[in-house]
Structure 1
Amino acid sequence: MSDDQVAVDRDKNPAAEEIADWSRGYVRRHPQASLETLGRQVIMGGRAIRHLVTDIWTGKFPVGEFVHQAAFMVKTSYVPTIAVALPVSATLSIQFGLLAGQVGATSLAGAASGLAVIRQSAPLVTAMLMAAAVGSAICADLGSRTIREEIDAMEVMGVSALRRLVVPRLAAGIIVAMALTGFSCFIGFLAGYLFNVYVQDGTPGSFMATFSSFATAGDLYLAMVKAAVFGTIVTVVACEKGLNTKGGPGGVANSVNATVVASIILLMVVNVGFTEMYTILFPRTTL
């Protein structure tokens, strides 16, 4: 095919050629853009944690903003957390109860559901609800300030946006994530107990005995560490996306969507790593 014919084909279908060019450019740009975004998030997270420690030590930590953000996060996420933790815990209890009945070990239903709730369900439910509710709200707030040039105005006046806006949100995200995880553990335990005893005709004593025998304090410590890390991830990703918003109101919407998606993907990857490391470092030799 000659060059004239190629030019004629492009002239006949310019939209297809534009889409093809954009697709090839996107494939080339996307890995680099992803790495740059991850790098900005790691740098921001490290700086925010460093400023958090130094500000608390020197007494410069903005306590009022921290309390305001923590109250906002709790108000935004505690009802969805309850609404999701109840059916998830009930589903786990039903499935483990049926499995235990099939192998003739109905007395172990409490242990199985308890381990699942404390180790996996409670931290993940809390983290995903924080990513969907809290993370999107943080990103929308900071993104709106960015496109209105409020962040630039703060920097011009010598006020660090990182220390004034990101650090208190980071501290609030960690505390609220740990508190909601503990609350989710209680809700999950209560839902599993009620379903096992009143729906699956289990015995209360057996449920409590196996739960307390198999669910150790180390499992709760793991859940709290997960919650702290998950809260850090959600807050840092939301703040980074919000502070780098471009393109007006449409850019805010895109940043919010990217925040939720990126946070959930990172949470799943980190959760797998935590689970594998805990299993390797603290193996269970007996049942």
Structure 2
Amino acid sequence: MSAESVEAERVRSSAVEEIAIWGRGYVRRHPAASLETLGRQVILGGRAVRYLVVDAWTGKFPFGEFVHQAAFMVKTSVVPTVAVALPVSATLSIQFGLLAGQVGATSLAGAASGLAVIRQSAPLVTAILLAAAVGSAICSDLGARTIRDEIDAMEVMGVSVLRRLVVPRLAAGIIVAMALTGFSCFIGFLAGYLFNVYVQDGTPGSFMATFSSFATAGDLYLAMVKAAVFGTIVTVVACEKGLDTKGGPGGVANSVNATVVASIILLMVVNVGFTEMYTILFPRTTL
């Protein structure tokens, strides 16, 4: 075998070895790291919920911090939520109105758009806006405190970071998510009604009658439960990413980006699970 052939074989072996090393490293860095992160988030969320219940029962809940965080979340997310809920609800109303007209069931446009807004649009739009606006703000705040060693200083002084910083944000996230979801339901219903009546020449009485006939209280309960769970997911993910920040200011930016992406992915997966479980447990017998 010539020297050129030996060298070529050595290069190929080296390339294959490097690819194998990179593949093993990728498995460690991404899927395994993702499972570790999810585990930390589950543990953090469970401890935060437990401390929330215990502190509220014993009177140790930091109410002032809760009010401050809730006001900040509302101020940050209410305008974007309304700005997104209006066009989404109008689009759903237009599409359902066109579909109902094609099958000769224009009287059901109100029921279809109402169910879509209450069950899916309102809680999901609110959660996504919370992840983008509130989750990023929470992560950047806790991430900045982490890289400035404020979190370590609090632990050294005996102050529980979980109870002092995470629990009030969790409670505020749940309350604000439920309130904004209810507000989004109203905005979505109003937008659907206006578009159906004034743009698609629908009948106001028919819209109201079908909406009230098919949109039950259970749909609103489902939306509120979704909102509470979505608010918990967004807050826990943001807090975990912020407290786990490393690498200086660049690490804060990476944590914020990871918070938004991970929150939205989890929200979509959990929303599918909620929808399927509700459909199985409470099936619709008629349209």
Q: Aligned partners of 1:206, 1:268: CA distance in 2, in Å? A: 33
Distance 1:225 1:8, change over 3 A: closer
How far 1:19 sits from its partner (Å)?
8.8
Distance 1:194 1:180, change over 3 A: same
Partner residue in 2 for 1:2: 6
TM-score normalized by the length of structure 2: 0.94
Distance 1:102 1:18, change over 3 A: same
Does residue 184 of structure 1 match 2:184? Answer: yes
Partner residue in 2 for 1:213: 213
Q: Aligned partners of 1:55, 1:100: CA distance in 2, in Å? A: 51
How far 1:32 sits from its partner (Å)?
1.3
How far 1:52 sits from its partner (Å)?
0.2
Q: Aligned partners of 2:117, 2:243: CA distance in 1, in Å? A: 35
Does residue 49 of structure 1 match 2:44? Answer: no
Secondary structure, aligned partner of 1:61: coil
Structure 1, residues 131-181: CA drift from partner, whole Å, max 9, x if none? 000000000000000000000000000000000000000000000000000
Partner residue in 2 for 1:252: 252
Sequence identity percentage: 90
Alpha carbon RMSD of aligned pairs, Å?
Answer: 1.9
Letter in 1 for 2:143: G
Partner residue in 1 for 2:120: 120
Partner residue in 2 for 1:227: 227
Partner residue in 2 for 1:163: 163
Q: Aligned partners of 1:215, 1:161: CA distance in 2, in Å? A: 43
TM-score normalized by the length of structure 1: 0.94
Letter in 2 for 1:6: R
Distance 1:142 1:19, change over 3 A: farther
Partner residue in 2 for 1:146: 146
Partner residue in 1 for 2:96: 96
Secondary structure, aligned partner of 1:2: helix
Secondary structure, aligned partner of 2:246: coil
Paired positions, count: 283
How far 1:30 sits from its partner (Å)?
1.5
Secondary structure, aligned partner of 1:251: helix
Letter in 1 for 2:224: M
Letter in 2 for 1:257: N
Q: Aligned partners of 2:55, 2:206: CA distance in 1, in Å? A: 49
Does residue 66 of structure 1 match 2:28? Answer: no
How far 1:28 sits from its partner (Å)?
3.5
Partner residue in 2 for 1:27: 27
How far 1:7 sits from its partner (Å)?
5.9
Distance 1:106 1:236, change over 3 A: same
How far 1:27 sits from its partner (Å)?
3.0
Secondary structure, aligned partner of 1:159: coil
Structure 1, residues 102-139: CA drift from partner, whole Å, max 9, x if none? 00000100000000000000000000000000000000
Partner residue in 1 for 2:39: 39
How far 1:26 sits from its partner (Å)?
1.8
How far 1:267 sits from its partner (Å)?
0.4
Secondary structure, aligned partner of 1:60: coil
Q: Aligned partners of 1:20, 1:71: CA distance in 2, in Å? A: 51
Deviant stretches of 4+, over 4 Å: 7-10, 17-24
Q: Aligned partners of 1:4, 1:51: CA distance in 2, in Å? A: 63
Q: Aligned partners of 2:144, 2:19: CA distance in 1, in Å? A: 30
How far 1:31 sits from its partner (Å)?
1.6
Distance 1:23 1:137, change over 3 A: farther
Structure 1, residues 183-208: CA drift from partner, whole Å, max 9, x if none? 00000000000000000000100000
How far 1:59 sits from its partner (Å)?
0.3
Q: Aligned partners of 2:224, 2:240: CA distance in 1, in Å? A: 24
Letter in 2 for 1:122: A
What residue ranges of structure 2 are gaps of 5+ in the alignment? Answer: none
How far 1:8 sits from its partner (Å)?
10
What residue ranges of structure 1 are gaps of 5+ in the alignment? Answer: none
Partner residue in 1 for 2:275: 275
Distance 1:153 1:233, change over 3 A: same
Partner residue in 1 for 2:106: 106
